[in-house]
Amino acid sequence: MKGIGASPGIEKGKVFVIKDWQPMLANNKTENTNAEISRLERALNKSTTELDNIFTKVKREIGDKEAAIFEAHIMIIEDPELIRQVKIKINEEKMSAEYALKTVRDIYLEMFKNMDNAYMRERAADIKDVTDRIIRNLTGMEKKDLLVIEEKAVIAAKDLSPSDTVQMDKEKIIGILTDDGGAASHVAIMARTLEIPAVVGLGNITEQLRTGDEILMDGDEGHVFIKPDKDIIKEYMKKRKMLRTLKTMYADLKGRESRTKDGYKVELSANIGTPEELPAVLRNDGEGIGLFRTEFLYMNRDRLPSEEEQFKVYKETAQKMEGKPVVIRTLDIGGDKALSYMPMPDEMNPFLGYRAIRLCLDRPDFFKSQLRALLRAGAYGNIKIMFPMISCIEELRKAKALLNEIKEDLNQRSQVFNPDMEVGMMIEVPAAAILSDVFAKEVDFFSIGTNDLIQYITAVDRGNKDIAHLYTQFHPALLRLIKQVIDNGHREGIWVGMCGEAAGDPRLIPILIGMGLDEFSMSPGTILKARWILSNLSKKEMEKKVENVLRYASAEEVCEALSFDTGVI
């Protein structure tokens, strides 16, 4: 079966199927409504105490982000509107406390279920999780406890709530499979943090499996084999062994500089979306943050983040990176990234539409609050600002003018900030790449965003599966343009990095070294592998190779020519 690879790793073992817990409650009428209200209050208090304890345990043992989920659960219990509605059902319809709670929560769940928004669906899962807990406390019913797993197993469930995941006996759980969920669901985030392989979004795997069945799973690719045959097992065990050997080999490079064998030094940085990813950056020896996608701070909430909220996040990120560069990209919303609380116009071509810097310059009110937060946080570390989607010089000049306006204002108020913060731009629109000699005179650095640059150069939507074969990082037109951007940047004495996915592609790293790219920014888990690759390369040899490759006519030829350089793919 194929699902979504949510947490990497290959595992084989017996499966333990957890069936969805559904309380069976009858609508037995009550006359003593006061007694029911008291029972409800007691169950609410007991649930809050349990959640407080879980919160403290998770915060200590796992992390702040995971703990925050339980804080949110406590807030659901404390939501006066929910409890008010439950009490109305008890008082007016003479329902028992548990039946009233179930009735009200089912109305909420139905409402959330129909919303076309992943965040809201996650909130529905939270409401179910909390109300199940209260019902358990009201009825004394036990949920099949995940602690009863007696031997090591891969668990399979319709979905796993944060409470389930946290209470799991991590020693016994070697993998996670769920019917529901996406790569950004709670269970996926938890599994990655706990480094347990996981495949989510499998549809109906819990119906196809029985506890005790043998399975084989690949958390990278999202494959699950039920009762795998000998050949499959052999193939995957070989892959697992190879991946583990490679991981140990890469890990030996921790603490070393990122240099080619002939001494050319580059910076290997990480792309992050939230500060929760910082531990992974540090664990993998990232030499900086090459791209902080700040739009994630604006998502999964119901209003814009304030200047203070942003300031705190940027400051903490810079401090945790201890002086290493942290490139923070200003809001890149629009295209495929929407904010639930900010209505966007209906557009024929959202990727060519009202997005990123265009939207920010049109809405200086909230753009300014982000710039102020960035400038202020810059006093506490090595923050650099980066503007996305710049397509003409006026946009860059306007953004810089706003930044200067804010600096003056901060000066007048005697607020602490970094007046000399480096300002860079993404090169992800062909016009900016072609005109990079001009732009290079007005910024401190470039970061090439291949994810968008490829789609704009080739006119291939990056998310359309029907034309996915045309979307390629090996297109000779892209490589020629990248070379031009790097040369133009260097001619003006600025550094040039890359934060699109191509920067972490083992087949492209050698050629980018040959072109003289200064900084590579990628997902944290790829950094040590990239260091290993370049430590086995000679810059001089790669420079010669660039000349040849740039003459190729097709992406296929480029890809073939580049596949031999690294030995590890």
Binder among 66, 129, 287, 428 for ligand PEP (CB under 6 A): 428
469 in active site = no
Could you give the C-alpha distances from 108 to 71, 82, 123, 264, in angstroms and in order?
20, 9, 10, 59
Toward ligand PEP, which CB reaches closer, 384 or 545?
384
Least distance CB 177 / ligand PEP (angstroms): 29
The option from Mg ion, ligand PEP, none interacting with 499 (CB < 5 to 8 A, set by class) reads ligand PEP
Toward ligand PEP, which CB reaches closer, 155 or 313?
313
Toward Mg ion, which CB reaches closer, 277 or 452?
452
Least distance CB 106 / ligand PEP (angstroms): 38
On whether the CB atoms of residues 346 and 354 are closer than 8 A, the answer is no
Two tokens, residue 229: 């045959």
392 in active site = no
Interface stretch with ligand PEP, choices 279-287, 395-403, 445-453, 549-557 (CB under 6 A): 445-453
Name the residue number minimizing CB distance to Mg ion: 452
Contacts for 279 with CB less than 8 Å, ≥ 6 apart: 63
| Interface size with ligand PEP, residues (CB under 6 A) | 10
CA distance 280 to 269: 12
Toward ligand PEP, which CB reaches closer, 449 or 489?
449
Binder among 450, 473, 488, 526 for ligand PEP (CB under 6 A): 450
Least distance CB 11 / ligand PEP (angstroms): 30
Beta bridge partners of 214: 14
Least distance CB 527 / ligand PEP (angstroms): 16
Least distance CB 456 / Mg ion (angstroms): 10
The option from Mg ion, ligand PEP, none interacting with 122 (CB < 5 to 8 A, set by class) reads none
Toward Mg ion, which CB reaches closer, 126 or 428?
428
Residues within the interface to Mg ion (CB under 5 A): 428, 449, 452
CA distance 509 to 205: 39
Least distance CB 427 / ligand PEP (angstroms): 9
Catalytic residue selected from 73, 490, 499, 559 = 499
Toward ligand PEP, which CB reaches closer, 102 or 355?
355
Least distance CB 351 / ligand PEP (angstroms): 9
Least distance CB 332 / ligand PEP (angstroms): 6
Interface stretch with ligand PEP, choices 172-180, 199-207, 375-383, 444-452 (CB under 6 A): 444-452
Buried/exposed 123-160: b ≥16 CB within 10 Å, e otherwise: bbbbbbbbbbbbbbbbbeeeeeebeebeeebbbbbbbb
The option from Mg ion, ligand PEP, none interacting with 293 (CB < 5 to 8 A, set by class) reads ligand PEP
Toward ligand PEP, which CB reaches closer, 181 or 449?
449
Could you give the C-alpha distances from 493 to 240, 388, 440, 542, in angstroms and in order?
45, 21, 8, 22
Toward ligand PEP, which CB reaches closer, 228 or 489?
489
On whether the CB atoms of residues 109 and 127 are closer than 8 A, the answer is yes
On whether the CB atoms of residues 389 and 452 are closer than 8 A, the answer is yes
Contacts for 405 with CB less than 8 Å, ≥ 6 apart: 368
Taking the mean position of all CA atoms in its chain, how far away is CA 492?
A: 34
Catalytic residue selected from 186, 223, 360, 475 = 186
Which residue reads 């009200």 in tokens? Answer: 104
Q: Judge residue 558's burial from the number of C-beta atoms within 10 Å of its C-beta, 0-12 exposed, 13-18 middle, 19 or more buried.
A: buried
Residue 478 half-sphere exposure toward CB, CA atoms < 13 A: 32
- Residues of this chain, 163-222, that bind ligand PEP according to CB under 6 A: none
- Judged by CB under 6 A, does residue 452 bind ligand PEP? yes
What length does the chain have? 569
What are the backbone dihedrals phi and psi of residue 93, each rounded to the nearest 5 degrees, phi first? -105, 5
Binder among 139, 451, 523, 535 for ligand PEP (CB under 6 A): 451
Least distance CB 511 / ligand PEP (angstroms): 17
Cα four-point dihedral sign 320, 326, 330, 331: negative
Least distance CB 503 / Mg ion (angstroms): 13
Q: Judge residue 353's burial from the number of C-beta atoms within 10 Å of its C-beta, 0-12 exposed, 13-18 middle, 19 or more buried.
A: middle
- Judged by CB under 6 A, does residue 332 bind ligand PEP? yes
Contacts for 116 with CB less than 8 Å, ≥ 6 apart: none
Two tokens, residue 302: 């119901």
Binder among 290, 449, 497, 510 for ligand PEP (CB under 6 A): 449
- Judged by CB under 6 A, does residue 508 bind ligand PEP? no
The option from ligand PEP, Mg ion, none interacting with 450 (CB < 5 to 8 A, set by class) reads ligand PEP
The option from ligand PEP, Mg ion, none interacting with 496 (CB < 5 to 8 A, set by class) reads none
Toward ligand PEP, which CB reaches closer, 33 or 526?
526
Toward ligand PEP, which CB reaches closer, 167 or 472?
472
In the three-class reduction of DSSP (H, G, I as helix; E, B as strand; rest coil), residue 152 is classed as: coil
On whether the CB atoms of residues 354 and 338 are closer than 8 A, the answer is no
Q: Where in 422-484 does DSSP place strands (E)?
A: 423-427, 445-448
In the three-class reduction of DSSP (H, G, I as helix; E, B as strand; rest coil), residue 384 is classed as: strand
- Residues of this chain, 256-315, that bind ligand PEP according to CB under 6 A: 291, 293
On whether the CB atoms of residues 321 and 381 are closer than 8 A, the answer is yes
Interface stretch with ligand PEP, choices 24-32, 416-424, 449-457, 542-550 (CB under 6 A): 449-457
What are the backbone dihedrals phi and psi of residue 419, each rounded to the nearest 5 degrees, phi first? -75, -15
Beta-strand relationship, 223-226 and 326-329: unpaired
Could you give the C-alpha distances from 302 to 120, 268, 272, 447, in angstroms and in order?
10, 35, 22, 31
Residue type, 408: E
Which active-site residues does the annotation give?
Answer: 186, 499
State the residues that interact with ligand PEP by CB under 6 A: 291, 293, 332, 428, 449-452, 499-500
